[in-house]
Amino acid sequence: QVWNPAGKHRVVSTKPMPGTRWIGLLTAAGCRVEVCTENKTILSVEDIRSLIGTQCDGVIGQLTEDWGEELFAALRKAGGHAFSNMAVGYNNVDVDAATRNGISVGNTPGVLTETTAELAAALTLAAARRVVEADDFMRAGKYEGWIPTLFVGNLLKGQTVGVVGAGRIGAAYARMMIEGFKMNLIYYDLYQSTRLENYVTAYGEFLKSRREVPVTWKRATTVEEVLGEADVVSLHPVLDKTTYHLINKERLALMKKEAILVNASRGPVIDEAALVEHLKENPMFRVGLDVFEDEPHMKPGLEKLPNAVVVPHIASASKWTREGMATLAALNVAAKIKGYPVWHDSNN
Ligand code: DGY
C-alpha cells in the first residue's frame, strides 16, 4: 500500500500500523510511504531486504524482526539513514551495526508506560484471583453452586509487591499496586533509578497526613532479596546479557511457595523450562506471562498448567498506545530525514 506516491523520500513500514496520524506525519515531511501488507506475521531478513530494495530512505520495523548488520548494510546501500523500531524495547536491534552503517535507531518510549503497567496489573489480578481458571470452569458448565472452597486465591492488600527494574513501566506498575491495592513495596533497580524512591516517600507522607495506614517500602540491594520477600514479583528490566535468564531455577527456589510472578518485559528474562518445572512442583505458585522465551511458542507443558495465565505479548495493545507508538516511530524516521535529533532512549 502506498501513500503520497510522488513523495521525495521513500519510507517503508514492514507492517501495517494502527491509526493514520503516522502516515500524515510522514507524508507532510515529503515522504512516500509504503506499507508492507504481506500476509505473514513474521518477516524474514530476506523479506525485509526485498522491501528495502535499491532505494530507501528509512524503515519502521517491528520487534519480531532481526535488525542486524545484514539489514542495516542493505539499508545504507539503498541510501537510507533512518530506522525506528515500533517498540520501546530494542533487543532485536544491533545498535552498533546501525551506527557502523550510519543509520539512526529510534524507539517509542513513554506512550506505552501506563498501558503496559496496566496489563502487568491485570496479569497480577488474574493470577491472584484465578480468573482464567474460573472462567474456563464456568464455560465448561462445571459450576454447580457456591461453595466456600471454590477458586480460593490470594488477597493483595497488605502483601508485598516486588518490582525488578524500576524504570518508567516498573514504577508505573508499582504505583498502581501501591495506590490501588495498598501493597507494600520492595524493589530492585539495575540502573539505580530514584524514580520510585521519590514517589513512595511522597506517597507515604500523603497517607500520613490523612492518618491512613502507611505502606512500607524498601529498596533491595539484590534481586534475591526481592524474590525472597515479595508475595508478588513483577519483572520490568530491559533484556540484555545481564538480564538473560535473570529468573532461573535457583532464583525461583528463593520465592515463596504461594508467590505470583509476572512478566511483561521480555521472555528470555525467565528460564522458561525451569519455570514450567517450578509451576508443576508448586501448584500454589502462580505466574502471569505476556512474553515468552521463544515467541510465538511457549515451552511445552505451560499450556496445560492451571497456575499459569498466558497472553500473546499484548501489554502495549491499547488503541491510544499503539497509535502513539506508530506516531513516535514515524516521527523518529521523519526527524532523521529532515535533519532533526531522533528519540532514542533505553531507560524504560
Ligand atoms: C515494546 O514496545 O517493547 C513492547 O514489548 C511492545 O508491546
Q: How confident is the model at residue 345 (pLDDT cuts 50, 70, 90)?
A: very low
* Confidence (pLDDT) at 88: 93
Ligand 1 probe mutation, 85, 88, 325, most atoms within 8 A of CB? 88
Name the residue among 81, 28, 89 with its Cα closest to residue 62.
89
* Superfamily of domain 113-310, CATH level 4: NAD(P)-binding Rossmann-like Domain (3.40.50.720)
Per-residue pLDDT reduced to its tens digit, 136-170: 999 999 999 999 999 999 999 999 999 999 999 99
| Paired sense of beta strands 232-235 and 58-61, if any | unpaired
Per-residue pLDDT reduced to its tens digit, 177-236: 999 999 999 999 987 777 788 888 888 888 888 888 878 899 999 999 999 999 999 999
Q: How confident is the model at residue 344 (pLDDT cuts 50, 70, 90)?
A: low
What mean pLDDT do residues 103-124 have?
96
Hey, what's the cell of 8? Answer: 521525495
Please report, as a single letter, which amino acid is at residue 29: A
Task: Please name the residue that has the C-alpha cell 531455577.
Answer: 249
Q: What are phi and psi of 56, to 5 degrees?
A: -160, 130
Q: How confident is the model at residue 337 (pLDDT cuts 50, 70, 90)?
A: very high
What mean pLDDT do residues 75-99 have?
96
* Confidence (pLDDT) at 231: 98
Q: Is residue 231 within 8 Å of residue 262, measured between CB atoms?
A: no
Separation of CA 166 and ligand 1 centre (Å): 16
User: How many angstroms separate the CA atoms of 122 and 307, rounded?
Assistant: 15
Task: Please name the residue that has the C-alpha cell 492488600.
Answer: 157
Domains 2-111+318-338 and 113-310 agree in fold: yes
Active site residue 295: yes
At residue 294, the 3 state secondary structure works out as: strand
Q: Is residue 38 within 8 Å of residue 47, measured between CB atoms?
A: yes
The number of residues making up the chain comes to 348
Structural element, H or E, at residue 164 = strand 160-164
* Confidence (pLDDT) at 214: 79
Per-residue pLDDT reduced to its tens digit, 274-297: 999 999 999 999 999 999 999 999
Map out the domains of the chain as residue ranges.
2-111+318-338, 113-310
**Separation of CA 336 from chain center:** 26
Per-residue pLDDT reduced to its tens digit, 300-318: 999 999 999 999 999 999 9
Question: What is the chain's Cα-based Rg?
Answer: 22
Q: How confident is the model at residue 58 (pLDDT cuts 50, 70, 90)?
A: very high
Q: How far is CA 174 from CA 42, 164, 181, 198, 212, in A?
A: 33, 10, 10, 13, 19
Active site residue 245: no
Non-local CB neighbours of 26 within 8 Å, separated by 6+ positions: 3, 4, 11, 33, 330, 333, 334
Separation of CA 89 and ligand 1 centre (Å): 6
Q: Where do the H-state alpha helices sit in 53-130? A: 69-77, 95-100, 113-128
Q: Which atom of ligand 1 is nearest to the CA of 266?
A: 5
What mean pLDDT do residues 33-46 have?
93
Class of domain 2-111+318-338: alpha beta
Which of the following is catalytic: 266, 278, 286, 322? 266
Given a cut of 80, whether residue 343 has pLDDT beyond it is no
pTM score above 0.90: yes
Q: What is the rounded average pLDDT for all residues in the chain?
A: 94
Q: How confident is the model at residue 116 (pLDDT cuts 50, 70, 90)?
A: very high
What percent of the chain has a predicted confidence (pLDDT) above 70?
98
Given a cut of 70, whether residue 347 has pLDDT beyond it is no
Rounded to 10°, the helix 168-181/113-128 angle is: 50
